[in-house]
Amino acid sequence: MENSYNVEVKSASRTLTAKERIMVKQLSSAQRLDELTQDGPVYIHADAYAILAVHNEKSKGDKDYETMVLLDTDGSLYVTGSASFRNSIEQLWDDYKELADSGEEISFKVFRLPSKNYKGKEFISATII
């Protein structure tokens, strides 16, 4: 019998330990950025990110989709399916990695912005602080 719910790590910003690979796939323990950013910006000191391929037979929308998980240095996990957020993190990551390797403390500010394409809608983005 095929699983109705399956998560696989599609890619990651670095090689994840076995423990981290298990952690990022447990989405029920992750905080949802879509909800957290409703009350204002969220600050994350990310150590890594992972792109997950999810298959969910019980999904009301697409049964196959991707989601991004950020691993905070404090062990917290943050998840979102936001394409705009994923794009901003992937664009910032190389610069972030270079700064982090130099020993400089860096965090991401995750926030909502009004959409220019959809009146009354917002999207999630990030910047390095």
Give 20-77 pLDDT, tens digit per residue.
Answer: 999 999 988 899 999 999 999 999 998 899 999 998 887 787 888 999 999 999 999 9
- d(CA 80, CA 90) in angstroms, rounded, equals 14
- CA dist list (Å): 119 to 37, 123, 125: 19, 11, 17
Instruction: Fill in the DSSP letter of residue 36.
Output: H
Contact between residue 86 and residue 108 where contact means Cβ atoms under 8 Å apart: no
**The model scores a pTM over 0.85:** yes
Q: Cα 4–71–92 angle (5° rounding)?
A: 110
